[in-house]
Amino acid sequence: MNIVAITSCAGGIAHTYMAAEALKRAAKAAGDQIKVEVQGSLGVENELLSSDIQNADFVLFAADIAIRNAERFQGKIIIEISPHEVIANGKVSLEKAKKAAAEKGVV
């Protein structure tokens, strides 16, 4: 699968980056492609391109605060999950997100 994700947490520091790394590791292990935008205390890093979003099978928000510029994802399947859940078990979180996306029509 081709996935784009945004990670963000209330503090915008440690958990934001830890969730991003957990998603990258889980996607690599599953054979999926993932691009992760980090919205942390330093602002937006690795900002997703329009083409990244357009080509994604679904969008994963691993955030416990509002996503900046969320309108970019209009029309895409969006799956939301807690960054803390992702940190605890990235593999299970990604599998859960993919299952939820499949239920919404992603093949």
Q: Are 83 and 16 in contact (CB under 8 A)?
A: yes
pLDDT digits 0-9 by tens, 57-77: 999 999 999 999 999 999 999
Q: Which domain holds residue 24?
A: 2-103
Q: What's the structural domain count of the chain?
A: 1
For residue 41, give both structure tokens.
């205390």
pTM of structure: 0.94
Catalytic sites, residue numbers = 9
Return left, alpha or beta for 57; rule: phi > 0 is left, psi -120 to 50 is alpha, else beta: alpha
CATH number where 75 lies = 3.40.50.2300
- What is the pLDDT tens value at each position of the chain, 107 positions in all? 999 999 998 887 899 999 999 999 999 999 999 999 999 888 999 999 999 999 999 999 999 999 999 999 999 999 999 999 999 999 999 999 999 999 999 87
